[in-house]
A and B are shown apart, each in its own frame.
Chain A
Amino acid sequence: MPVKTGIFLCDCGGSLRNIDFPKIGENLVDLKDVAFVDISHNLCLEEGTKAITSRILTENINRVVIAACSPQLCERNFAGLLEKLRLNPNLLSLANIREQCSWAHKGDVTGKALELITMAVDRAQLLQPVETTKVVVNNEVLVVGGGFCGMKLSLELSQLGIRTTLMEREPTLGGKLKKLEGFYSSQREAMIKAVEKAENIEILTSAEVTGVEGKIGDFRVRIRRGTKEILRTFGAIVFATGYKTEVAAGDFPLKPGVNIISQERLAELLQDPSLGTRPENIGFILDLSDENSRLPTLATLNSALTVKKRWGSEVYVLCKNVKVDSEGVEKLYREAREQGVMFLKFDEKPRISADDGRVKIEAKDILVGQEVTLTCNLVVAEEKFLPTEGTKDLSSLLKLRTDSQGFYQEENVHLYPVASERKGIYFSGNCRGDLDLGRVLTDISSAVARIRELLSPGGIVAEVDRVKVDPQKCVACLTCIRACPHNAVQLVQIDSEKVAADIPQLACDRCGICAAICPAKAIKFEGYSDDQILAQIEAIGVS
C-alpha cells in the first residue's frame, strides 16, 4: 500500500505566536507522499478529536504526523484515537513544537518548527504497523517465603481469586513471627490459620526452589521437597524470603553465652518463663559497630518494654541515636521511657567486661556527662540485619542483582520498588532491605497490584514483533543474550540446523540495547529502528 501521510498542526489555542503556521503548511504540502496539512487550535480537545477523525476517515491516510505539545503529554491520547479509527497506533509520529521549540526560544522559530516536523514526517514514512494480541498466561502465583509478608501476600492474592502457592523452607509457617515480640507474635496463630483455611492457597512446607526457567506468564520452577523434586509452572513469582539477624561477633568483646544473649533468645525466654529466672538488671546494647538499622532498633524497643512490663527488671538501653524513622516508633520510645526504661547515650565505645558471673559495662553518658558503671545480670547484644541464607544462590540462579549488603536489588528504588529487572518476578518485604511493618504492608499492596494488573482475566495485551530478530541474519553470537538487562532474550531452534535469538514480547521492556549492540544488525526495534533514526538525522537541515 502506498504511503499517504496526513499532517495535523496544533497552535495550542493560538498561543504559539512565534511560529508562522500558514508558512509551515505551505512548505509541508510539497513534501513527498503528503496528502494534506491541517492547522487547528486545540487538537487535544473534543473539537480537535472530531477534526482528526473526519479527516482521517475521508482522506484514507495511512501515516499520521501530529505537531503539537510534548509526546509525553499527548502521545497516549492520539495513539488511542488512531486505534479507535482502526489505524495502527504505531503509524503515528509526533513533533514537539511547543516545549522544545516555541517555548524554548525567543523570537521567530518557524524554521526550527518546520525542521522538527520534517523529521517527524520522514520518520513516519518508514513506520510499520505493530499489532497487539492478547496472550493468555498461566495465572498461578508462587510466593516464596512463609513469613508475615509471604502469608499476607498469599491471603490478599487469594482474596482476588488468584491461585497462589505458598512455599516455606521450614517445616512450619510463621517465619520470623515465631521469634518476635509485640504486635508480630499476636498475629502469628491467626494468620497461619487464615492461610490454611483459604481456598486458593496451596501450602508447600520444607520446600526449596532449585531452578527457574522460562519467562513471565510461564515460569517453570523446580521445587525440592525432601528427596523428591517436582516441576511446576507459574505466571509470576514473588520473593518474600525475609532477613536474618546475627550477633555481630567481631564487634562484641565477649562471646554470647548465659549472660550475653541475642534478641531471638530473649524472645524465647519471654515466651517461655520456665527457661530462665527473672534477671534483676538487663542491658540492651545498640550502635556498637555503627548506626543501627531499623528492625533491630524496633526489636530492642519492643523487647525492652516487654521485659519492663512482664518482669519488672531494671532495663538499660545503651545507644548512640535511636533510629525512630518508622511509624509509631517515636511513641514506642516515649512509652518505654515513661515505663522506666533508661536510655544511656554514649559517644565512645562502652567497655564491656565479665565481672563475677555478671557483665560490667562502663560508658560515658553524654547527656549527664559522667562515667556510668552498670553491672547487669543479662546483656542483650546488638544484632546485625542481614539477608537470609540462600539469597545469594537464588539471585545467581535467577540472574538477578543484589545490592551492596547482599539484599535483592529492586529495579528502581523510587519508581518500581517491588519489581525486579526481570518481568514477572517481584520482591516484597525485608528480602529487599530494612523495612518496618508499614513499609512491608505497602510493599505487599504494590506487589498485589502489579500481579493483579499482570494476570488480569482475559490475558495480557502484548505487542507482536515490536522488537524482532531476523533469524536469517542472526548468527547466534549470544551478544544480545549477554547484553539484555532484563534477561528477556532466549535462544530457539529455527530448523534442524539453525538456532537464533528470540525475544518474547512479554518479557521485553523495550530499551533497544540489543538492537544497538547486535553485530549482525539482525534485531529491529520498530519505531526506533536504524533507518527511522537515520531518516530523522538526514532530515535535519534539508529544509
Chain B
Amino acid sequence: MNGKIVAFCCEHSAYLAADAAGKQGLHYPENLRVIRVPCAGRVDIIHILKAVEENATAVLVLACEDGLCQHLTGNVRAKERVKYSETLLKEVGIDGKRVGMFNLAANAPHKFIRIINKMNEMIKEQGEGK
C-alpha cells in the first residue's frame, strides 16, 4: 500500500466532512483510505502502528474540534495516542511525521481537503510518494 494515506475518521465529524467534500465536488488525491470509527477515542496505538507496518505513507486520526467531542474526552485521548505512537516510531527510526492528528468539524470539508493536500505535499517532499 505504498503511497497511501490511511485516515481514521470519527463518524460524528471527519467522516461527515469527507462526505461533504464529495457532495460539494471538492476533489482530493485518490490515495486516501478512510476507516470509519465511532469516536477518535476508539483508535488504538496498534491500529496506527499496523497501518505503518502495512507500509502506509501517512496515518491520520481525524477527530472533532477541541471541547466538542461527542464523548467528551475521545479527541483528547486520540491526541495522546497519536503522540505516543510518534515516539514509538521515532525509537525504531521511522519519521514520526508520518502520523498526524487533526481536529475538524462535520461542516468543514475545505479543512478536510487542506489536511489531505498538506499530507500529500509532505509525502512528495520526502520523496516517498513514488
What residues make up the interface of A, taking CB atoms closer than 8 Å to B? 70-72, 96, 98-106, 109, 111-112, 115-116, 119, 401, 411-412, 415, 421, 483, 485-486, 509-513, 515-517, 525, 528, 530, 533-534, 536-538, 540-541
Contact = CB atoms under 8 A, between A and B. Distances in A.
A99 B22 contact: yes
Contact of A100 (B29, B34, B37, B46): B34
Contact of A511 (B16, B56, B74): B74
B30 A109 contact: yes
B101 interface: no
B117 interface: no
B19 A105 contact: no
Interface string B20-35: 0111011111100111
A540 B15 CA distance: 18
Nearest to A109: B30
B73 A99 contact: no
B119 to A, nearest CB: 15
Contacts of B39: 511-513
Contacts of B16: 72
B83 interface: no
B50 A534 contact: yes
A106 B21 CA distance: 13
B124 interface: no
Nearest to A538: B54
B4 A99 contact: no
B36 interface: yes
Contacts of B47: 530, 533-534, 537
A70 B2 contact: no
Contact of A103 (B22, B34, B51): B22
Contacts of B19: 70, 72, 96, 99-100
B14 to A, nearest CB: 11
A485 B30 contact: no
7 contacts: A70-B22, A100-B18, A412-B70, A511-B71, A513-B41, A517-B77, A537-B56
B79 interface: no
B41 A512 contact: yes
Interface string B62-78: 00000010111110010
A181 to B, nearest CB: 38
Interface string B38-58: 110111101100110011100
A540 B54 contact: yes
B94 interface: no
Contact of B37 (A103, A106, A512): A512
Interface range on chain B (Cβ under 8 Å from partner): 35 or more
A537 B71 contact: no
Contacts of A102: 22
A252 to B, nearest CB: 34
A489 B110 CA distance: 38
B42 A513 contact: yes
A512 B70 CA distance: 12
B22 A100 contact: yes
A111 B4 CA distance: 13
B18 A530 contact: no
A541 B1 contact: yes
Contacts of A116: 33
B6 interface: yes
A98 B73 contact: no
Given A485-B74, A540-B56, A541-B4, A104 B35 contact: no
Nearest to B1: A541
B44 A530 contact: yes
B112 to A, nearest CB: 10
Contact of B38 (A485, A510, A517, A536): A510
Nearest to B15: A72
Contacts of B29: 105
Nearest to B3: A541
Given A106-B27, A485-B74, A537 B38 contact: no
Contacts of A101: 22
B18 A533 contact: no
B21 A104 contact: yes
A512 B6 contact: no
Given A100-B19, A104-B28, A536 B77 contact: no
